[in-house]
Chain A
Amino acid sequence: MIDNLMLGLETAVSPENLLWCFVGVLLGTVIGLLPGLGSTTGVAILLPVTLTFDPVTALIMLAGIYYGSQYGSSISSILISTPGDSSSVVLTIDGYQMARKGRAGAALAISALASFFAAIVSLIGLIALAQPIARFALNFGPAENLAIILLGMATIVSFAGENILRGITMAAAGLLVSMVGVASGFSTARFTFGSVNLLSGLDFVAVMIGIFAVGEVLHQIRRGGEKPIRAGFRDLLVTKEELRRAFPSTVRGTGLGFTVGVLPGAGATLATFLAYGVEKQVSRFRQFIGKGAPEAVAAPEAANNAAANASFIPTLALGIPGSGTTAVLLGAFIIFGLQPGPLLFQQEPDLVWGLLVSFFFGNLILLVLNLPMAPVFAQILRIPYVYLYPIVLMMSFIGAFALGNNMFTLWIVFFSGLLGYFMKRFDFPAAPFVLGLVLGPLLEKYLVQTSALGNGSLLIMFQQPLSLILTLAALVALAYPLIAAVIRNLRTRRADAKQRETVTH
């Protein structure tokens, strides 16, 4: 472990990597605080810019954009009650209330400190867990890999909110889109409708740029642009009392965020809502929550950053993205010819450990930048969105062209943008769609391999103890929320019937 960390340190502290880490977190902060541009959009738009970099430098910068935007998105939530990213939606409650009371500076400081604490603790967890999991996953055969992907997709369902069916349907739709083109291991062209351009499939990074960059920006335009800053900056310094109140919440948020973040598909947004909910139940000052309580800023912020780091565990160790943004990052790995998964730790130790150690420096830079300069960053919110969005759209199209060097990629971005806009407008979740899109080729590869191992029978998945446990877990995770929803509905109907009987008697 120490050797690996030293190797990572050596890679991370090279002047070039430190510089791009700094650029990444700075750009991430700016992107995060702009409404309509979240971490996924930021990584998707800027991925093409890193094409000529060394893979490790590119990934350090892209990861920097990811966690940098977690800090940035909190700024706009606190100051203008407009979340820069879905993971900071919950901050619009107490963060904004604190700002309205003239405690914007304190809210921003608590947010930055909680983020830093959570990032460092979760980084230790990430470093401690990722390699053992990867080592364990080396024993996986196709059946186990197939089961683990199914389990990953099933967890999306469990956390899809009220609309479980819609979540899983979107994941399946993403899976379907991933099947366009000639299937790996076969010579049959699927869903190409005679188009030569579709033979090699749809470039999923282009689809993501369309959905997350074009779709989100246009949705923001429909929402009506950002609001002016109304928060006061008097009392910039956080008080001792506020820090004392925020600390236990930060610890709770970190633990919860890390646990939720490890699960594929659950993501940071859910972690923030759960952390807020827990504070409402257990905090000593729960009566102040909703009215500008530091606990309700610290806990979700900590959960957000802990979950973001934790989502790298399934991504790096198993090759299964834990969130929408890690799905795009997984695309970046593939573009650089790397396959995240158990073998990555053996084949590219300097890259993996360099990336992980860079998280420490990135978060340190973010803390140093954010503590004194958050109000300065906030001035970016004064740039009129009318100038910003056309340029973001132009960057999205040209960036996508750089990925594929063909006009067809541009049309993929265009139509995915249209799809993304409608998905956002009508609440069809994008994250399960993207996870389906990314996991599709892997799922099919392991399905074909498992079938070949079992001479055509997939029952082999139930014959090995490990694959049996994983498959059953996937089935339970998939079936439980659906069955529970049906039972709840039946119970409500029974209660209705009883009520009707009492009233008529």
Chain B
Amino acid sequence: MNTVTAKNPPRNRPEVSDVIGTAILGVVGAVAAVMGIGYGLSVDSGEVGPGLLPFLTGTFIFLASVAEIFRLFFARVGTSGGRIMSAVEDIEATAAESIDSASEAVSASGDDVDTFGRTEKQRNRAPFVIFATFGIALALVPVLGLIIALSLAILFLLIVVEKQKWWTSAAATIGAAVFVYIVFGLVLSVPMPTGMLGLI
């Protein structure tokens, strides 16, 4: 019997992220479909109502997500063969290999760190630290003003997260702030929020 299992094309082993992402889409679709019914599928004259398109789209997303989850778990590997798109996917894979091999050639010269000097763990965390920094900066706009809040975010990222020298970081931040102030504030006359500080 072992031979039999070995000869079977393996089933896709779905990535957890694929399943979670698709499930989230499915839930969003279901909620949208229910809300669509609430908005009214048709108006009194029998014509399309404000809820029809949300209902149809939501239902479609829900059904497609269910089908996608089914596919993730039950489709056999290699079922996409014999199509034009599968040739495209092969080339895509070759390109990905080429990109990866070039990266490996570079990382082989150092340790397991990238050109930012980050390990893989730090690399996974970095986008969230940056997101959080900009989130806090946006929350501070009513106090500091838009340009100052974002400039402080840049300065923080350069000095604390990227560990750059303070004077180059300060120069880059001031340069960026002056540039956006000239382009958006002076040339485009965009009324930038100056916050409670009321500076720029």
Residues of chain A touching chain B, judged by Cβ–Cβ distance below 8 Å, are: 48-49, 51-52, 80-83, 89-90, 92-93, 96-97, 159, 161-162, 165-166, 168-169, 172-173, 175-176, 179, 183, 186, 188, 190-191, 218-219, 221-228, 230, 270, 273-274, 276-277, 280, 290, 385-387, 390-391, 393-395, 397-399, 401-402, 405, 407, 410-411, 414, 417-418, 421-422, 425-428, 443-444, 447-448, 451-452, 455-456, 458, 484-485, 488-489, 492-493, 496, 499-500, 503-504
Contacts and interface: CB of A to CB of B under 8 A. Distances in A.
B132 to A, nearest CB: 11
B179 to A, nearest CB: 8
Contacts of A165: 64, 67-68, 71
B187 interface: yes
A405 B49 CA distance: 32
Contact of A394 (B68, B162, B180): B180
B47 A395 contact: no
Contacts of A270: 88
A92 B99 contact: yes
B170 interface: no
Interface string B46-61: 1111111110011011
B85 A418 contact: no
B67 to A, nearest CB: 6
Nearest to B142: A407
Contacts of A395: 180
Contacts of B142: 407
Contacts of B15: 426
B143 interface: no
Given A48-B188, A224-B118, A385-B116, A485 B54 contact: no
Contact of B32 (A191, A277, A496): A191
A422 to B, nearest CB: 7
B79 A488 contact: yes
B99 A81 contact: yes
A456 B45 contact: yes
Contacts of B164: 386-387
B127 A421 contact: yes
Interface in B153-198: 153-154, 157-158, 162, 164, 168, 172, 176, 180, 183-184, 187-193
B125 to A, nearest CB: 9
User: Which of A391, A411, A503 gathers the greatest number of chain B CB atoms within 10 Å?
Assistant: A391
B176 A190 contact: no
Contacts of A276: 91
A414 B138 contact: yes
Given A222-B124, A488-B79, A492-B78, A188 B50 contact: yes
16 contacts: A80-B102, A90-B95, A165-B67, A172-B61, A172-B64, A173-B61, A188-B51, A221-B116, A223-B114, A224-B115, A228-B115, A390-B157, A395-B180, A426-B18, A456-B46, A492-B9
Contacts of B25: 169, 173
B22 A166 contact: yes
Given A190-B39, A503-B3, A496 B9 contact: yes
Contacts of B78: 492
A82 B99 contact: yes
A337 B39 CA distance: 30
Contacts of A496: 8-9, 76
Given A49-B183, A390-B153, A398-B184, 5 more contacts: A52-B189, A162-B86, A228-B106, A390-B154, A488-B79
Contact of A455 (B47, B60, B61): B47
For this complex, into which size category does the number of interface residues on chain B fall?
35 or more
Contacts of B192: 398, 401
A393 B131 CA distance: 10
B162 A488 contact: no
A451 B45 CA distance: 10
Contacts, number: 264
Interface string B71-106: 100011011111111111101101110110111011
A261 to B, nearest CB: 15
Contacts of A183: 50
Nearest to B31: A191
A428 B61 CA distance: 14
Nearest to A500: B4
In the A-B complex, the 5 residue pairs with the closest CB atoms: A224-B114, A456-B46, A81-B102, A225-B115, A451-B48
Nearest to A422: B21
Contacts of A485: 79-80
A417 B131 contact: yes
Contact of B76 (A390, A399, A493): A493
A93 B98 contact: yes
B65 A169 contact: yes
B186 to A, nearest CB: 11
A230 B115 CA distance: 14
A496 B78 CA distance: 12
B200 to A, nearest CB: 12
Given A224-B123, A500-B7, A176 B91 contact: no
Given A224-B115, A228-B106, A492-B78, A277 B87 contact: yes
Contacts of B58: 176
A448 B47 contact: yes
B42 A83 contact: no
Given A219-B127, A386-B116, A443-B53, A227 B103 contact: yes
A466 to B, nearest CB: 21
B172 A401 contact: no
A504 B99 contact: no
Given A168-B64, A169-B68, A179 B53 contact: yes
A175 B79 CA distance: 29
B150 A394 contact: yes
Contacts of B28: 173, 176
B48 A447 contact: yes
Contacts of B157: 390
Given A190-B35, A390-B158, A455-B46, A162 B124 contact: no
Interface in B1-38: 3-4, 7-9, 15, 17-18, 21-22, 25, 28-29, 32, 35
A428 B42 CA distance: 33
Contacts of B92: 89-90, 273
Contacts of B114: 223-225
